[in-house]
């Protein structure tokens, strides 16, 4: 085909140089027109069961106002590791505890060059919220075991997220009130069969149909990083112990972790999920996320139903990276002996320093980024006594250790 000068195609081709010149002129004369730059940012995210729980409502706030040595140590650990985002498990929630810790401890430093954690989020949890039901079948009501999540008062063993990056609080999703029976294939606790009776449900239907799944809550907290959203998925499942042959806490722990898996799957697995505002559905398949929390489940050792945490670690939507390690964890397991001697997991991966007889030290705290994020480093704040004696004493502020992960995220500024 031979094109003539007057053909439309020839005329459009002649316009290309003129358009390029016009675009360049516009950039020079109007600086507000800018070309978007894609950059890679390294984000450090951490989880820490700080064990800042007290026996009575308001006791933590009173201590934080007077001066709380444990809280000061917890804040120092966080400042030392310096994460951009951190979930704290087991911080009692009352009118002022989170604010007091945030203002008087976490953001109060001398000579620090680190930016403040300017943003925070905390919401209601199930611990200590009376169900009005006899959940432990002991014939009594209004006891800690009869709360939707074990606790002596509302907000005990609560959670809070602190961040240097903006939190989109308007779009936080909470699943505090999601009912366990709404989960397809839920592990309903059963009383074992005996000579005189068959296997029966531990919870009668009228109780089972009201039970909440989350022992504290499950949250999806969106964090704004440039033009990207990072979903911080926070929870603190119940310990899989302190029950009987029905294994009600073991079943609940398993399903609280399974909920996380269904939420991130990006397929029909999470279609049953409904949040506290009655919005249904799970996380989008292309979303970036990080799962945080004391999940109270070791993939190898301990008394829990380990398959749930193993399934989560092996999920295709979760990044694969070597488990965080510390020198102090390996040293502590060797020195404590006891149950640790029979453990199969690497003690350097342990995140909790528990009773030496049972269960011993375990890996129960996790930071799990999504597979579309590149993990570049990780660790556990548990230094060895020989190398850092002062830091080791600091680490003992809680029976858990802070776990952190660095990953890269591509953003458009």
Question: Which H, E and C letters describe 344-364, residue by residue?
Answer: CCCHHHCCECCCCCCCCCECC
Stronger pLDDT, 404 or 27, i.e. the higher one: 404
Alpha-carbon 332 to chain mean position: 25
Alpha-carbon 213 to chain mean position: 16
Which residues 6+ apart lie within 8 Å of 56 measured at CB? 152, 153
The fraction of the chain above a pLDDT of 70, given in percent, is 88
**Computed from CA positions of residues 299, 358, 60, 401, in that sequence, does the dihedral angle turn out positive or negative?**
negative
17, two tokens: 């140089």
Stronger pLDDT, 208 or 32, i.e. the higher one: 208
* Low-confidence winner among 19-33, 187-201, 326-340 (lowest mean pLDDT): 19-33
Q: Tens digit of pLDDT for each residue in 90-129?
A: 999 998 999 999 999 999 876 554 568 999 999 999 999 9
Query: Which residue segments constitute the domains of the chain, with CATH numbers given?
Result: 36-412 (3.60.10.10)
Angle of CA points 390, 395, 397, to nearest 5°: 110
Q: Tens digit of pLDDT for each residue in 172-183?
A: 999 999 999 999
**Mean pLDDT, range 35-43, rounded to an integer:** 87
pLDDT at 149 over 80: yes
**Mean pLDDT, range 285-311, rounded to an integer:** 97
Instruction: Tell how many helices (H) and how many strands (E) occur in the chain.
Output: 9, 13
- DSSP secondary structure of 382-397: ---TTT-HHHHHHHTT
Reduce the DSSP state of residue 332 to 3 states and report it: helix
Which residues 6+ apart lie within 8 Å of 34 measured at CB? none
Which residues 6+ apart lie within 8 Å of 93 measured at CB? 122, 124, 125, 154, 155, 156, 158, 160
**Mean pLDDT, range 289-317, rounded to an integer:** 97
pLDDT at 3: 45
Strands 85-91 and 288-294: unpaired
103: left (phi over 0), alpha (psi -120 to 50) or beta: alpha
Nearest Cα neighbor of 212 from 124, 300, 292 is 124
pLDDT at 95: 84
Nearest Cα neighbor of 297 from 248, 340, 252, 245 is 252
- DSSP secondary structure of 146-181: GBSBS-SSTTTT-EEEEESS-B-GGG-EE-TT-BGG
Burial (Cβ within 10 Å: 0-12, 13-18, ≥19) of residue 77: buried
Stronger pLDDT, 163 or 384, i.e. the higher one: 163
Q: Where are the alpha helices (DSSP H) in 117-247?
A: 205-208
**Cα–Cα distance list, 372 to 141, 205, 257, 369 (Å):** 47, 42, 21, 8
pTM of the model: 0.90
């Amino acid at each position: 085909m031979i094109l003539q000068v007057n053909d439309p195609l020839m005329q459009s081709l002649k316009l290309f140089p003129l358009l390029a010149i016009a675009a360049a002129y516009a950039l020079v004369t109007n600086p507000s027109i800018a070309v978007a730059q894609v950059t890679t940012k390294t984000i450090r995210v951490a989880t820490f069961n700080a064990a800042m729980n007290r026996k009575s409502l308001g006791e933590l706030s009173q201590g934080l106002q007077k001066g709380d040595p444990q809280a000061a140590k917890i804040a120092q650990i966080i400042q030392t590791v310096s994460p951009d985002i951190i979930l704290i498990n087991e911080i009692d929630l009352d009118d002022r505890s989170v604010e007091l810790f945030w203002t008087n401890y976490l953001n109060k430093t001398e000579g620090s060059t680190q930016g403040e954690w300017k943003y925070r989020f905390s919401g209601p949890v199930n611990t200590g919220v009376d169900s009005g039901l006899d959940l432990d079948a002991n014939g009594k009501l209004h006891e800690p075991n009869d709360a939707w999540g074990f606790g002596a008062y509302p907000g005990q063993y609560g959670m809070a997220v602190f961040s240097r990056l903006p939190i989109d609080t308007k779009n936080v999703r909470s699943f505090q009130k999601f009912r366990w029976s709404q989960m397809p294939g839920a592990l309903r606790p059963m009383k074992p069969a005996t000579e005189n009776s068959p296997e029966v449900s531990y919870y009668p239907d009228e109780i089972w149909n009201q039970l909440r799944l989350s022992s504290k809550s499950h949250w999806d907290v969106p964090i704004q990083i440039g033009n990207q959203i990072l979903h911080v998925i926070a929870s603190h499942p119940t310990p899989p112990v302190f029950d009987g042959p029905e294994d009600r806490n073991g079943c609940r722990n398993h399903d609280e972790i399974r909920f996380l898996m269904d939420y991130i799957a990006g397929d029909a697995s999470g279609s049953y999920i409904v949040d506290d505002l009655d919005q249904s559905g799970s996380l989008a398949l292309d979303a970036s996320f990080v799962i945080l929390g004391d999940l109270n489940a070791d993939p190898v050792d301990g008394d829990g139903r380990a398959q749930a945490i193993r399934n989560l670690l092996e999920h295709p939507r979760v990044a694969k990276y070597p488990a965080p390690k510390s020198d102090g964890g390996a040293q502590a397991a060797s020195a404590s002996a006891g149950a640790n001697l029979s453990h199969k997991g690497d003690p350097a991966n342990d995140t909790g320093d528990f009773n030496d007889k049972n269960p011993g030290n375990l890996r129960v705290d996790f930071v799990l980024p999504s597979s579309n994020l590149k993990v570049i480093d990780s660790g556990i704040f548990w230094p060895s006594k020989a190398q850092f004696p002062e830091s080791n004493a600091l680490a003992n502020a809680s029976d858990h250790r802070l776990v952190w992960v660095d990953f890269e995220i591509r953003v458009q500024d």
